[in-house]
Amino acid sequence: MPYTFKVKTLGCPVNQYEGRALELAMEEAGFVPTGDIADIYIINSCVVTQAAAAEARRLASQAKKENPQSLVVLAGCYPQVYWKEIKEKLPQVDIIIGTTGRSRLPAVIARQLAETHREQRAIIVEHGPGEEFEEFPLTGNYGRTRPVIKIQEGCDEACTYCIVRKARGLPRSLAPEKVVAQVKHFLDKDCREVVLAGTHLGAYGKDLPGWNLARLIEELDALPHSFRLRLSYIEPMDISLEFLQTLARARKVCPFLYLPLQSGSDRILQKMGRRYTSAEFARLVQQARELIPGLSIWTDLIVGFPGETEDDHQQTMKLVEELALSHLHVFPYSPRPGTEAAGFSDQVAPDVKKRRVQELRALDEKLSLHFNQQLVGKQVQVLVEKVGENQGEGFSEHYVKVRFPTGNSELKGSLIPVQVLAAAPWGVEGCLIKSEGASNY
Protein backbone atom coordinates (compact mmCIF):
# COMPACT_ATOMS: atom_id res chain seq x y z
CA MET A 1 0.00 0.00 0.00
CA PRO A 2 1.36 3.48 -0.87
CA TYR A 3 1.97 5.87 2.00
CA THR A 4 -0.58 8.67 2.55
CA PHE A 5 0.29 12.27 3.37
CA LYS A 6 -1.08 15.66 4.41
CA VAL A 7 0.50 19.09 3.94
CA LYS A 8 -0.49 21.99 6.21
CA THR A 9 0.81 25.39 5.13
CA LEU A 10 0.99 28.51 7.29
CA GLY A 11 1.82 32.07 6.32
CA CYS A 12 2.32 34.19 3.23
CA PRO A 13 1.49 33.69 -0.48
CA VAL A 14 5.04 32.42 -1.12
CA ASN A 15 4.46 29.72 1.50
CA GLN A 16 1.11 28.87 -0.08
CA TYR A 17 2.84 28.36 -3.44
CA GLU A 18 5.53 26.19 -1.86
CA GLY A 19 2.95 24.16 0.04
CA ARG A 20 1.10 23.35 -3.16
CA ALA A 21 4.39 22.55 -4.91
CA LEU A 22 5.20 20.11 -2.08
CA GLU A 23 1.81 18.40 -2.49
CA LEU A 24 2.34 17.92 -6.22
CA ALA A 25 5.94 16.72 -5.75
CA MET A 26 4.77 14.16 -3.19
CA GLU A 27 2.07 12.89 -5.55
CA GLU A 28 4.56 12.61 -8.41
CA ALA A 29 6.78 10.54 -6.12
CA GLY A 30 3.95 8.05 -5.56
CA PHE A 31 2.58 9.24 -2.21
CA VAL A 32 -1.21 9.60 -1.87
CA PRO A 33 -2.91 12.71 -0.45
CA THR A 34 -5.55 12.13 2.20
CA GLY A 35 -7.96 14.12 4.32
CA ASP A 36 -7.93 11.36 6.94
CA ILE A 37 -5.26 10.11 9.34
CA ALA A 38 -2.00 10.11 7.35
CA ASP A 39 1.29 8.21 7.31
CA ILE A 40 3.22 11.44 6.65
CA TYR A 41 2.50 14.95 7.94
CA ILE A 42 4.30 17.95 6.46
CA ILE A 43 3.97 21.29 8.25
CA ASN A 44 5.16 24.07 5.95
CA SER A 45 5.79 26.73 8.56
CA CYS A 46 5.97 30.51 9.02
CA VAL A 47 8.21 32.38 11.45
CA VAL A 48 7.12 36.02 11.11
CA THR A 49 5.32 36.02 14.48
CA GLN A 50 5.50 34.06 17.71
CA ALA A 51 1.94 32.89 17.07
CA ALA A 52 2.91 31.38 13.71
CA ALA A 53 5.82 29.46 15.24
CA ALA A 54 3.59 28.28 18.10
CA GLU A 55 0.99 27.04 15.60
CA ALA A 56 3.67 25.04 13.75
CA ARG A 57 4.69 23.38 17.02
CA ARG A 58 1.07 22.63 17.87
CA LEU A 59 0.41 21.04 14.47
CA ALA A 60 3.54 18.87 14.75
CA SER A 61 2.49 17.61 18.19
CA GLN A 62 -1.09 17.06 17.03
CA ALA A 63 0.08 15.02 14.02
CA LYS A 64 2.05 12.60 16.21
CA LYS A 65 -0.91 12.23 18.55
CA GLU A 66 -3.22 11.54 15.61
CA ASN A 67 -0.91 8.80 14.33
CA PRO A 68 1.99 7.87 16.66
CA GLN A 69 3.56 5.78 13.85
CA SER A 70 3.53 8.66 11.37
CA LEU A 71 6.53 10.49 9.97
CA VAL A 72 6.30 14.19 10.85
CA VAL A 73 8.14 16.84 8.82
CA LEU A 74 8.54 20.44 9.99
CA ALA A 75 9.66 22.53 7.01
CA GLY A 76 10.16 26.14 5.97
CA CYS A 77 11.01 29.42 7.64
CA TYR A 78 10.62 28.39 11.29
CA PRO A 79 13.18 25.54 11.20
CA GLN A 80 15.48 27.55 8.93
CA VAL A 81 15.98 30.06 11.75
CA TYR A 82 15.30 28.07 14.93
CA TRP A 83 16.15 24.45 14.03
CA LYS A 84 18.22 23.92 17.20
CA GLU A 85 15.23 24.92 19.35
CA ILE A 86 12.99 22.51 17.40
CA LYS A 87 15.51 19.68 17.74
CA GLU A 88 15.62 20.19 21.48
CA LYS A 89 11.92 20.79 22.17
CA LEU A 90 10.14 18.69 19.52
CA PRO A 91 11.52 15.12 19.52
CA GLN A 92 8.29 14.02 17.80
CA VAL A 93 9.43 15.75 14.60
CA ASP A 94 11.27 13.23 12.39
CA ILE A 95 12.59 15.56 9.67
CA ILE A 96 13.52 19.22 10.15
CA ILE A 97 14.14 21.03 6.86
CA GLY A 98 14.55 24.75 6.17
CA THR A 99 13.82 26.90 3.13
CA THR A 100 16.45 25.25 0.92
CA GLY A 101 16.16 21.76 -0.58
CA ARG A 102 12.44 21.21 -0.17
CA SER A 103 12.14 20.19 -3.82
CA ARG A 104 14.09 17.07 -2.78
CA LEU A 105 11.88 16.39 0.25
CA PRO A 106 9.95 13.41 -1.26
CA ALA A 107 13.26 11.55 -1.78
CA VAL A 108 14.37 12.40 1.78
CA ILE A 109 11.06 11.11 3.15
CA ALA A 110 11.33 7.88 1.13
CA ARG A 111 14.80 7.20 2.58
CA GLN A 112 13.59 7.90 6.10
CA LEU A 113 10.62 5.57 5.71
CA ALA A 114 12.93 2.78 4.54
CA GLU A 115 15.04 2.96 7.72
CA THR A 116 14.31 0.43 10.46
CA HIS A 117 15.35 2.78 13.26
CA ARG A 118 14.36 6.34 12.48
CA GLU A 119 16.50 9.07 13.92
CA GLN A 120 15.57 12.74 13.83
CA ARG A 121 17.16 14.34 10.79
CA ALA A 122 17.88 18.07 10.41
CA ILE A 123 18.56 19.38 6.89
CA ILE A 124 19.46 23.05 7.20
CA VAL A 125 21.51 24.87 4.57
CA GLU A 126 22.58 28.35 5.63
CA HIS A 127 21.81 31.10 3.10
CA GLY A 128 24.71 33.07 1.67
CA PRO A 129 25.93 35.28 -1.20
CA GLY A 130 25.69 33.85 -4.70
CA GLU A 131 22.80 31.54 -3.85
CA GLU A 132 20.58 30.68 -6.80
CA PHE A 133 16.78 30.67 -6.94
CA GLU A 134 15.62 27.13 -6.14
CA GLU A 135 13.13 26.16 -8.81
CA PHE A 136 10.03 24.44 -7.55
CA PRO A 137 7.62 24.52 -10.52
CA LEU A 138 3.97 23.66 -10.19
CA THR A 139 3.31 20.94 -12.75
CA GLY A 140 -0.37 20.30 -12.08
CA ASN A 141 -3.49 22.18 -11.01
CA TYR A 142 -3.00 24.76 -8.29
CA GLY A 143 -6.14 23.63 -6.50
CA ARG A 144 -7.63 27.13 -6.29
CA THR A 145 -9.17 29.48 -8.83
CA ARG A 146 -6.43 32.06 -8.27
CA PRO A 147 -2.98 30.42 -8.48
CA VAL A 148 0.01 32.07 -6.82
CA ILE A 149 3.36 31.99 -8.63
CA LYS A 150 6.53 32.49 -6.61
CA ILE A 151 8.87 34.58 -8.76
CA GLN A 152 11.26 36.00 -6.15
CA GLU A 153 12.83 35.04 -2.86
CA GLY A 154 15.02 36.73 -0.27
CA CYS A 155 15.49 40.23 1.10
CA ASP A 156 18.36 42.70 1.55
CA GLU A 157 16.55 45.19 3.78
CA ALA A 158 17.51 45.64 7.43
CA CYS A 159 14.18 46.08 9.23
CA THR A 160 14.93 45.73 12.93
CA TYR A 161 11.82 43.65 13.71
CA CYS A 162 12.05 41.15 10.86
CA ILE A 163 13.57 37.66 10.67
CA VAL A 164 12.76 37.07 6.97
CA ARG A 165 16.29 37.87 5.79
CA LYS A 166 17.63 35.05 7.98
CA ALA A 167 14.84 32.73 6.90
CA ARG A 168 15.08 33.39 3.16
CA GLY A 169 18.53 34.78 2.36
CA LEU A 170 19.42 37.51 -0.15
CA PRO A 171 17.22 38.46 -3.16
CA ARG A 172 17.14 36.08 -6.10
CA SER A 173 14.69 35.78 -8.96
CA LEU A 174 13.09 33.18 -11.20
CA ALA A 175 14.24 33.67 -14.82
CA PRO A 176 11.62 35.69 -16.77
CA GLU A 177 11.09 33.02 -19.42
CA LYS A 178 10.28 30.54 -16.63
CA VAL A 179 7.84 32.99 -15.05
CA VAL A 180 6.09 33.35 -18.41
CA ALA A 181 6.04 29.55 -18.84
CA GLN A 182 4.50 29.09 -15.37
CA VAL A 183 1.84 31.73 -16.08
CA LYS A 184 1.01 30.08 -19.43
CA HIS A 185 0.77 26.71 -17.66
CA PHE A 186 -2.10 28.02 -15.52
CA LEU A 187 -3.74 29.96 -18.34
CA ASP A 188 -3.80 26.72 -20.35
CA LYS A 189 -5.71 25.22 -17.41
CA ASP A 190 -8.32 27.99 -17.77
CA CYS A 191 -7.23 30.04 -14.74
CA ARG A 192 -8.47 33.60 -15.14
CA GLU A 193 -6.31 35.30 -12.52
CA VAL A 194 -2.65 34.79 -11.57
CA VAL A 195 -0.93 36.27 -8.51
CA LEU A 196 2.79 37.14 -8.59
CA ALA A 197 4.44 36.72 -5.19
CA GLY A 198 7.84 37.03 -3.55
CA THR A 199 9.27 37.59 -0.10
CA HIS A 200 10.39 40.99 -1.44
CA LEU A 201 8.51 41.16 -4.74
CA GLY A 202 9.75 44.62 -5.70
CA ALA A 203 13.33 43.29 -5.68
CA TYR A 204 12.55 41.02 -8.63
CA GLY A 205 15.35 41.22 -11.20
CA LYS A 206 18.07 42.60 -8.90
CA ASP A 207 20.13 39.54 -9.80
CA LEU A 208 19.06 39.48 -13.47
CA PRO A 209 20.83 42.06 -15.69
CA GLY A 210 18.34 44.20 -17.60
CA TRP A 211 15.29 42.95 -15.72
CA ASN A 212 12.97 44.34 -13.06
CA LEU A 213 9.35 43.82 -12.01
CA ALA A 214 8.04 46.50 -14.38
CA ARG A 215 9.61 44.85 -17.42
CA LEU A 216 8.26 41.44 -16.36
CA ILE A 217 4.74 42.91 -16.01
CA GLU A 218 4.99 44.33 -19.53
CA GLU A 219 5.94 40.87 -20.84
CA LEU A 220 2.99 39.21 -19.11
CA ASP A 221 0.58 41.97 -20.08
CA ALA A 222 1.44 41.33 -23.74
CA LEU A 223 0.28 37.69 -23.58
CA PRO A 224 -2.75 37.13 -25.83
CA HIS A 225 -4.73 35.23 -23.20
CA SER A 226 -7.76 36.67 -21.41
CA PHE A 227 -6.82 36.91 -17.74
CA ARG A 228 -5.96 39.35 -15.00
CA LEU A 229 -2.72 39.75 -13.09
CA ARG A 230 -2.54 40.57 -9.39
CA LEU A 231 0.55 41.60 -7.43
CA SER A 232 1.19 40.40 -3.89
CA TYR A 233 2.54 42.93 -1.40
CA ILE A 234 5.29 45.32 -2.53
CA GLU A 235 7.47 47.39 -0.23
CA PRO A 236 6.94 51.16 -0.63
CA MET A 237 10.69 51.76 -1.10
CA ASP A 238 10.62 49.62 -4.24
CA ILE A 239 7.98 51.68 -6.02
CA SER A 240 8.96 54.47 -8.42
CA LEU A 241 6.87 56.77 -10.59
CA GLU A 242 8.00 54.74 -13.62
CA PHE A 243 6.72 51.55 -11.98
CA LEU A 244 3.32 53.13 -11.31
CA GLN A 245 3.16 54.33 -14.90
CA THR A 246 3.80 50.74 -16.04
CA LEU A 247 0.89 49.54 -13.90
CA ALA A 248 -1.35 52.29 -15.26
CA ARG A 249 -0.59 51.31 -18.87
CA ALA A 250 -1.05 47.57 -18.30
CA ARG A 251 -4.40 46.19 -19.44
CA LYS A 252 -4.36 43.04 -17.32
CA VAL A 253 -3.03 44.26 -13.95
CA CYS A 254 -5.67 44.61 -11.23
CA PRO A 255 -6.17 48.10 -9.69
CA PHE A 256 -4.83 46.83 -6.38
CA LEU A 257 -1.67 47.57 -4.40
CA TYR A 258 -0.64 46.04 -1.09
CA LEU A 259 1.84 48.50 0.43
CA PRO A 260 3.06 47.72 3.97
CA LEU A 261 3.23 51.00 5.94
CA GLN A 262 3.93 49.42 9.39
CA SER A 263 3.66 52.77 11.25
CA GLY A 264 2.50 56.32 10.63
CA SER A 265 5.12 57.74 13.01
CA ASP A 266 8.42 58.82 11.46
CA ARG A 267 10.20 58.17 14.75
CA ILE A 268 8.96 54.59 14.84
CA LEU A 269 9.63 54.05 11.12
CA GLN A 270 13.25 55.06 11.75
CA LYS A 271 13.52 52.65 14.71
CA MET A 272 12.06 49.93 12.49
CA GLY A 273 14.74 50.54 9.84
CA ARG A 274 12.14 51.45 7.21
CA ARG A 275 13.56 53.55 4.36
CA TYR A 276 10.73 56.09 3.94
CA THR A 277 8.84 58.70 5.94
CA SER A 278 5.11 59.00 6.48
CA ALA A 279 5.05 61.96 4.05
CA GLU A 280 6.83 59.91 1.36
CA PHE A 281 4.33 57.08 1.83
CA ALA A 282 1.44 59.57 1.52
CA ARG A 283 2.91 61.00 -1.71
CA LEU A 284 3.25 57.48 -3.12
CA VAL A 285 -0.42 56.76 -2.38
CA GLN A 286 -1.45 60.06 -4.00
CA GLN A 287 0.64 59.37 -7.13
CA ALA A 288 -0.74 55.86 -7.43
CA ARG A 289 -4.36 57.04 -7.18
CA GLU A 290 -3.82 59.80 -9.73
CA LEU A 291 -2.46 57.28 -12.25
CA ILE A 292 -4.77 54.33 -11.51
CA PRO A 293 -8.48 55.23 -11.14
CA GLY A 294 -10.40 53.27 -8.52
CA LEU A 295 -7.19 51.86 -7.01
CA SER A 296 -7.61 49.72 -3.89
CA ILE A 297 -4.70 50.04 -1.42
CA TRP A 298 -4.13 47.61 1.44
CA THR A 299 -1.50 47.93 4.12
CA ASP A 300 0.16 46.19 7.07
CA LEU A 301 0.52 47.87 10.46
CA ILE A 302 2.65 46.72 13.40
CA VAL A 303 1.15 47.88 16.68
CA GLY A 304 3.10 48.34 19.91
CA PHE A 305 6.59 48.40 18.42
CA PRO A 306 9.17 49.02 21.20
CA GLY A 307 9.02 52.66 22.24
CA GLU A 308 5.69 53.37 20.53
CA THR A 309 3.93 56.10 22.53
CA GLU A 310 0.27 57.04 22.47
CA ASP A 311 1.21 59.97 20.24
CA ASP A 312 2.94 57.61 17.76
CA HIS A 313 -0.17 55.43 17.71
CA GLN A 314 -2.42 58.43 17.09
CA GLN A 315 -0.17 59.53 14.22
CA THR A 316 -0.71 56.10 12.63
CA MET A 317 -4.48 56.33 13.13
CA LYS A 318 -4.56 59.83 11.63
CA LEU A 319 -2.43 58.95 8.59
CA VAL A 320 -4.31 55.83 7.52
CA GLU A 321 -7.66 57.61 7.95
CA GLU A 322 -6.51 60.64 5.94
CA LEU A 323 -5.23 58.36 3.17
CA ALA A 324 -8.53 56.42 3.19
CA LEU A 325 -6.72 53.12 2.69
CA SER A 326 -8.99 50.27 1.61
CA HIS A 327 -8.01 47.64 4.16
CA LEU A 328 -5.67 47.35 7.16
CA HIS A 329 -3.91 44.18 8.29
CA VAL A 330 -3.13 44.91 11.94
CA PHE A 331 -0.58 42.90 13.94
CA PRO A 332 0.62 43.34 17.53
CA TYR A 333 4.43 43.55 17.61
CA SER A 334 5.96 40.12 18.19
CA PRO A 335 9.63 40.01 19.29
CA ARG A 336 11.65 37.54 17.20
CA PRO A 337 14.86 36.26 18.85
CA GLY A 338 17.80 37.16 16.64
CA THR A 339 16.40 40.52 15.53
CA GLU A 340 17.66 43.89 16.74
CA ALA A 341 14.25 45.02 18.01
CA ALA A 342 13.94 41.98 20.30
CA GLY A 343 16.72 43.54 22.38
CA PHE A 344 15.12 46.98 22.65
CA SER A 345 14.42 47.82 26.30
CA ASP A 346 11.24 49.86 25.84
CA GLN A 347 8.78 47.05 25.06
CA VAL A 348 5.09 48.04 25.09
CA ALA A 349 2.78 46.43 27.65
CA PRO A 350 0.47 43.68 26.26
CA ASP A 351 -2.74 45.41 27.42
CA VAL A 352 -1.69 48.64 25.65
CA LYS A 353 -0.95 46.69 22.46
CA LYS A 354 -4.32 44.97 22.67
CA ARG A 355 -6.21 48.28 22.99
CA ARG A 356 -4.34 49.85 20.08
CA VAL A 357 -4.94 46.80 17.89
CA GLN A 358 -8.68 47.02 18.66
CA GLU A 359 -8.74 50.73 17.76
CA LEU A 360 -7.03 50.15 14.42
CA ARG A 361 -9.25 47.18 13.59
CA ALA A 362 -12.31 49.33 14.30
CA LEU A 363 -10.84 51.95 11.95
CA ASP A 364 -10.29 49.23 9.36
CA GLU A 365 -14.02 48.42 9.40
CA LYS A 366 -14.81 52.09 8.80
CA LEU A 367 -12.27 52.43 5.96
CA SER A 368 -13.28 49.16 4.30
CA LEU A 369 -16.94 50.21 4.34
CA HIS A 370 -16.02 53.61 2.88
CA PHE A 371 -14.13 52.05 -0.03
CA ASN A 372 -16.79 49.42 -0.67
CA GLN A 373 -19.55 52.07 -0.70
CA GLN A 374 -17.76 53.76 -3.61
CA LEU A 375 -18.44 50.62 -5.67
CA VAL A 376 -22.23 50.78 -5.21
CA GLY A 377 -23.92 51.37 -8.55
CA LYS A 378 -20.81 50.31 -10.46
CA GLN A 379 -20.00 47.21 -12.44
CA VAL A 380 -17.13 45.03 -11.21
CA GLN A 381 -15.50 41.94 -12.67
CA VAL A 382 -15.73 39.02 -10.25
CA LEU A 383 -13.57 35.92 -10.24
CA VAL A 384 -16.04 33.35 -8.92
CA GLU A 385 -14.44 31.19 -6.21
CA LYS A 386 -17.43 29.28 -4.88
CA VAL A 387 -21.09 28.71 -5.63
CA GLY A 388 -23.54 27.52 -2.99
CA GLU A 389 -27.16 26.53 -3.34
CA ASN A 390 -28.38 30.06 -4.02
CA GLN A 391 -25.30 32.27 -3.80
CA GLY A 392 -22.03 32.84 -5.60
CA GLU A 393 -18.96 34.45 -4.09
CA GLY A 394 -15.71 35.78 -5.46
CA PHE A 395 -13.39 38.78 -5.60
CA SER A 396 -13.50 41.90 -7.72
CA GLU A 397 -10.47 43.39 -9.47
CA HIS A 398 -10.03 45.55 -6.33
CA TYR A 399 -9.85 42.38 -4.19
CA VAL A 400 -13.22 43.13 -2.61
CA LYS A 401 -15.38 40.14 -1.71
CA VAL A 402 -18.56 40.05 -3.81
CA ARG A 403 -21.67 37.99 -3.18
CA PHE A 404 -24.48 37.58 -5.70
CA PRO A 405 -27.51 35.30 -6.18
CA THR A 406 -26.90 32.29 -8.41
CA GLY A 407 -27.14 28.53 -8.32
CA ASN A 408 -25.02 27.96 -11.41
CA SER A 409 -21.98 25.92 -10.29
CA GLU A 410 -20.49 26.23 -13.79
CA LEU A 411 -19.62 29.85 -13.00
CA LYS A 412 -16.83 28.78 -10.63
CA GLY A 413 -13.47 29.91 -12.01
CA SER A 414 -15.07 32.39 -14.44
CA LEU A 415 -14.72 36.15 -14.61
CA ILE A 416 -18.20 37.65 -14.68
CA PRO A 417 -19.67 41.18 -14.53
CA VAL A 418 -21.65 42.03 -11.41
CA GLN A 419 -23.63 45.20 -10.65
CA VAL A 420 -22.92 46.30 -7.07
CA LEU A 421 -26.10 47.06 -5.09
CA ALA A 422 -25.00 47.28 -1.44
CA ALA A 423 -21.83 47.57 0.64
CA ALA A 424 -20.66 46.33 4.03
CA PRO A 425 -17.25 46.27 5.78
CA TRP A 426 -16.72 42.63 4.64
CA GLY A 427 -17.42 43.39 0.95
CA VAL A 428 -20.35 44.06 -1.40
CA GLU A 429 -23.52 42.43 -2.69
CA GLY A 430 -24.75 42.62 -6.26
CA CYS A 431 -26.46 40.94 -9.15
CA LEU A 432 -25.19 39.27 -12.31
CA ILE A 433 -25.13 41.29 -15.52
CA LYS A 434 -25.99 39.03 -18.41
CA SER A 435 -24.28 40.06 -21.60
CA GLU A 436 -22.20 38.75 -24.44
CA GLY A 437 -18.69 37.83 -23.34
CA ALA A 438 -19.80 37.72 -19.69
CA SER A 439 -16.80 35.54 -18.84
CA ASN A 440 -14.26 37.96 -20.26
CA TYR A 441 -12.30 40.40 -18.13
Q: What is the pLDDT of residues 206-221, one digit of tens each?
A: 999 999 999 999 999 9
What confidence score (pLDDT) does residue 119 get? 86
Domains of the chain in sequence order: 4-124 (3.40.50.12160), 148-371 (3.80.30.20), 378-432 (2.40.50.140)
Residue 413, sorted as left (phi over 0), alpha (psi -120 to 50) or beta, turns out to be left
Q: Which residues pair with 300 in a beta bridge?
A: 329
**Mean pLDDT of successive 10-residue stretches along the chain, which has 441 residues:** 94 93 94 95 93 94 95 96 92 94 92 87 90 86 89 95 93 97 94 96 96 98 95 96 97 98 98 98 98 97 98 98 98 93 94 98 98 98 94 97 94 95 98 64 33
Helix axes 13-28, 105-114, angle to 10 degrees: 50
Average pLDDT of the chain?
Answer: 94
Task: Return the exposure string of 23-49: e unless at least 16 CB atoms fall within 10 Å of the residue's CB, then b.
Answer: bbbbeeeebeeeeeebbbbbbbbbbbb
| Residues 243 and 284 sit within 8 Å (Cβ to Cβ) | no
How many CB atoms within 10 Å of residue 351?
Answer: 8
Q: What is the identity of the amino acid at 21? A: A
Q: Which residues pair with 73 in a beta bridge?
A: 42, 95
71-76 vs 121-123, strand pairing mode: unpaired
What confidence score (pLDDT) does residue 327 get? 98
What confidence score (pLDDT) does residue 273 get? 97
What is this structure's pTM? 0.92
Q: What is the pLDDT of residues 165-206, one digit of tens each?
A: 999 999 999 999 999 999 999 999 999 999 999 999 999 999
Write out the H or E segment, with its range, that includes residue 60. helix 50-66
